[in-house]
């Protein structure tokens, strides 16, 4: 982030999953200079084809925290092929995506399956709902109202991106450090601070961190 301070720009837009990056950018660059793109597209790298594969997606959201700039609309126009729309407050959409990632990324990484497996398996439905509910409860305590039911959004995204390999699963396959600290880990940390139990997110977080440790050794 320190390097960005020396670059002249109107607006820096971040696309990372989870929490933490936008907050760090705001601290380093100021809230008026950063925005978030919540990108709802399923894309993974196919090792055999040696190319990126798009498997589907839906509307994506671009915005700042209760602020706006004309540059956002200019960027959205460039990205119209991805159905990107500008919103007045990015937080509800960022947290909705957080709920989706908290369920899809961890479960697919643990089970080593594409996203679509989650909509085919009745046994996972209850876990998905409880993971999503914990995210919603933490968000609600922070005064953030999600724009739609988070569990329903998880299933919708899993179906829309059925053939996708989540970024967490891709990292586990390559023995790379995952984003789980910024997804489920962030939910657990905030839950503790707010005195909200998040046992399902904590379990999934611990399992993925364990996979990071044992990767390549078995």
Q: Which of 65, 66, 67, 97 is flagged as catalytic?
A: 97
97: annotated active-site residue: yes
* Cβ atoms of 190 and 202 closer than 8 Å: no
Place of tokens 């989870």: 18
Helices and strands in the chain: count of H runs, count of E runs? 8, 6
DSSP states along 60-85 = EEEE-SS---HHHHHHHHHTGGGTEE
* DSSP designation for 39: -
Q: Sort 52 into a burial class: Cβ within 10 Å, 0-12 / 13-18 / 19+.
A: exposed
Active-site residues, by number, are 97
């Amino acid at each position: 982030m320190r390097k960005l301070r020396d670059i002249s720009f109107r607006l820096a837009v971040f696309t990372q999953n989870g929490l933490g990056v936008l907050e760090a950018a705001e601290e380093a660059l100021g809230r008026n200079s950063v925005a978030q793109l919540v990108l709802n597209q399923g894309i993974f790298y196919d090792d055999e084809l040696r190319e990126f594969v798009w498997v589907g997606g839906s509307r994506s959201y671009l915005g700042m925290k209760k602020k706006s700039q004309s540059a956002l609309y200019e960027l959205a126009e460039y990205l119209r092929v991805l159905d990107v729309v500008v919103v007045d407050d990015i937080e509800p959409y960022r947290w909705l995506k957080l709920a989706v990632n908290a369920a899809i990324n961890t479960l697919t990484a643990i089970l080593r399956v594409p996203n679509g497996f989650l909509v085919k398996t009745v046994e996972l439905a209850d876990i998905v709902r409880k993971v999503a509910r914990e995210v919603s409860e933490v968000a609600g305590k922070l005064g953030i109202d999600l724009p739609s039911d988070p569990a329903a959004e998880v299933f919708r995204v899993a179906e829309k991106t059925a053939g996708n390999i989540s970024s967490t699963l891709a990292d586990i396959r390559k023995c790379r450090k995952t984003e789980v600290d910024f997804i489920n880990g962030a939910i657990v940390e905030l839950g503790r601070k707010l005195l909200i139990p998040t046992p399902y997110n904590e379990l999934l977080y611990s399992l993925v961190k364990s996979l990071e440790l044992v990767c390549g050794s078995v």
